[in-house]
Amino acid sequence: MKQLLRVTVFWCLLLFVLLSGCASSQQYVMLARDGASYTGSVATLADRASAIRVESSSYSLLQQRHYISTKYKGTVLKNALRDSLRYANQSDLEAIENNRHIKEVAISLQNYFLALQELAASTAPVDIGAKTSEIISKVNEAMRAQNRTPMSVPTSVSSVIVTHLTESALQKELTSRKQSILRALDILDGLLITISREIDGQARNIRNARVALLIQPAYQDTISVSSLSLSDKELWVTLRQKDLLGSTTEGDDKKAITSVKTSGRKFRELFTNMTSK
Amino acid sequence: MEQMSSVPLQELSAFARSFSASVLEELLTTSSMKPEEKTAFREQYRDMQVTLESVQKAYRRYEEIDRPLIKECLEAYLLLLQRGPESRDELIQQFSVVLDQSERIDVLDDGMMDLLKEIWPEVQWPEQLPAFEGGELPDESEWPKYRLKEIFEKKNRQAQVFWNSSWLLVRLDIVSATEELKKGKKHLESLGKVLGYCCKIIGLLSKIHNVIM
């Protein structure tokens, strides 16, 4: 009777560990995936910040060229134009370099979360692939070496042991690195603020530049209006449309920034919850 | 979200509080350092505390005195930019004040940097401003239209450099060292390393706050 009770309790406990293990494994996978997704989005935004920066400064250069050409003539004009282009290039390259660094920070954090995701996913009870088998055999080997007795557990029990062991390892990993990861997230937040601000400011400049340099002068130029080709007119209509409706890319950028900020906040909450248990 | 500009200073201050002069002396007594090394360590420690105190003072001054003035100036100018030709003269006159106040913005002050981000793209295209409609545009001497853009880009870049380099490299070490101190695990060698890092960051912050040592 006692023996029967022991066996029942043992299998009930195993079932409990298995069920709670399933949910936990999924949580770790989700956490790691969210972390990798957030950091990956920051890296993408860093690239976008460089592109929009060059587009904006190109408009500023066109504005400067107009101003300089009304002020100087001959060689002085050429030198002034060359200098303004050189200055803009230098400034843009510095900004691009900074954005590359931001991308590196984001990518290195992403690599950490990807590794975590892989580890968490490989131990999910539903995953009975080669990877799991390899882990099981390694655990068995380790246990044999430690106990000097061979393991004789059925396959279903083996996967529970692996899940349980790895979940505890994942929990330990995250808890021990909690402060480091939170600090790294602070840094990433700081960097995200600077790139989103850069994108927003330069996008405003591009919008104003389009009106001032392209839309308004072309419309006010009544003398050459009859000589405008069909494609010129179509281009003008497209530009005006972009100005009034907001360009698709500008809308996409705003959405991307909002989405990254939201996912960063959610990830931080989830991470804090999972590491404070 | 917490104002990011205060986070580095808060953590540096926490480290400095934990690493008191008595803790330093206690550690030096049991250390195997040579006398000249101990002297150098004490000197570096003193420099860090003195500079940190100056940065803290400068930051307090910025928060209590400079920031409210900058905020008032930029917010008022943002409204002025939307007004018509009747505000032409005021817009030009106030522009130099806006330039002065913008120069004072702490690069890690997100609120003020965001205000600046809204103003510079408007200033760069005066022909689009309602105040100059139908009238003559101000010349470069009274309306240096790229100046505000340059200030914004320079400051935003400085903020990125701060997060990218110094802070990224040292922050984790500082936090773990602070924790070690709180738990009473004091290792002079590792603290020496952190002390060096702190000096670098405080140096960077002192530049941001224009502290003259």
Of A84, A216, A205, the residue nearest B148 (C-alpha): A205
At B58-113, the pLDDT tens digits run 889 999 999 999 999 999 999 999 999 999 999 999 999 999 999 999 998 999 99
Residue-level pLDDT at B149: 96
Domain coordinates of chain A in residue numbers? 9-275
Residue B86 DSSP label? G
Lowest mean pLDDT among A119-123, B38-42, B45-49: A119-123
As a whole number of angstroms, the distance between CA A271 and CA A118 comes to 17
Helix (H, G, I), strand (E, B) or coil at B11: helix
As a whole number of angstroms, the distance between CA A36 and CA B49 comes to 39
Please provide the DSSP assignment of B146-204 as one string: THHHHHHHHHHHHHHHHIIIIIHHHHHHHHHHHHHHHTT---HHHHHHHHHHHHHHHHH
Lowest mean pLDDT among A179-183, A267-271, B114-118, B124-128: A179-183
Residue-level pLDDT at A115: 73
**Does B3 contact chain A (CB < 8 Å)?**
no
Please provide the DSSP assignment of A187-233 as one string: HHHHHHHHHHHHHHHHHHHHHHHIIIIIIHHHHH--SSGGG--HHHH
Q: Which tokens hold the place of B74?
A: 């930029």
- ipTM of the prediction: 0.74
What average pLDDT does the structure give for chain B?
Answer: 83
Q: Are A272 and A35 in contact (CB under 8 A)?
A: no
**Does A101 contact chain B (CB < 8 Å)?**
yes
**Does A217 contact chain B (CB < 8 Å)?**
no
As a whole number of angstroms, the distance between CA A40 and CA A113 comes to 10
As a whole number of angstroms, the distance between CA A123 and CA A170 comes to 11
pTM for the predicted model, two decimal places: 0.74
Residue-level pLDDT at A136: 40
Interval B29-49 mean pLDDT: 87
Residue-level pLDDT at A124: 45
At A55-66, the pLDDT tens digits run 999 999 999 999
Q: Which tokens hold the place of B172?
A: 């984790």
At B179-200, the pLDDT tens digits run 665 565 555 556 666 666 667 6
- Element housing B88 (H / E): helix B88-103
Q: Which tokens hold the place of A78?
A: 């050429």
Query: 10 Å Cβ neighbour count for B195?
Result: 21
Residue-level pLDDT at A3: 54
CB contact under 8 A, A189 and B124: no
Surface of A (66-95) touching B: CB under 8 A: 67, 91, 94-95
Query: 10 Å Cβ neighbour count for A130?
Result: 9
Per-residue pLDDT of chain A (277 residues), as tens digits, is: 545 544 444 444 344 444 444 436 677 788 888 888 998 999 999 999 999 999 999 999 999 999 999 989 999 999 999 999 999 999 999 999 989 988 887 887 787 778 777 767 764 444 434 443 444 444 445 434 444 333 333 344 444 445 555 667 677 767 766 766 777 788 788 889 999 999 999 999 999 999 999 898 888 887 776 677 888 888 889 888 888 887 777 888 888 899 999 988 888 888 888 888 6
- The residue behind tokens 């400034």 is A91
Q: Which of A95, A189, A211 is nearest residue B157 as measured by Cβ atoms?
A: A95
More reliable by pLDDT, B116 or B10: B116
Residue-level pLDDT at A78: 95
Q: Which tokens hold the place of B129?
A: 């401003």
Residue-level pLDDT at A128: 36
Whether B7 shows a pLDDT value over 60: the answer reads: yes
Query: 10 Å Cβ neighbour count for A166?
Result: 22
Coarse DSSP helix, strand, coil percentages of chain B, rounded to the nearest 5 percent: 80, 0, 20
Q: Which tokens hold the place of B156?
A: 């935003």
As a whole number of angstroms, the distance between CA B134 and CA A116 comes to 63
As a whole number of angstroms, the distance between CA B176 and CA B170 comes to 10
- The residue behind tokens 């954090």 is A109
As a whole number of angstroms, the distance between CA B48 and CA B208 comes to 16
Task: Return all residues near A219 (Cβ < 8 A) that are at least 6 apart.
Answer: A236
Q: Which of B125, B149, B168 is nearest residue A105 as measured by Cβ atoms?
A: B168
Q: Which tokens hold the place of A182?
A: 């939170």
Phi/psi at A123 (5° precision): -105, 5
Q: First and final CA of chain B: distance in angstroms?
A: 32
Q: Tell me the angle at which helices B21-30 and B35-61 cross, rounded to the nearest 10 degrees.
A: 160
As a whole number of angstroms, the distance between CA B63 and CA A164 comes to 51
CB contact under 8 A, B149 and A60: yes
**Does B181 contact chain A (CB < 8 Å)?**
no
Res. B138 pLDDT band, cuts 50 70 90: very high
Dihedral sign for Cα atoms in the order A217, A220, A221, A226: positive
Q: Which residues of chain B lie closer than 8 angstroms to A194, CB-CB?
A: 156, 159-160, 163
Coarse DSSP helix, strand, coil percentages of chain A, rounded to the nearest 5 percent: 90, 0, 10
If you measure CA to CA, which chain B residue comes closest to A68? B140
Q: Are B108 and B4 in contact (CB under 8 A)?
A: yes
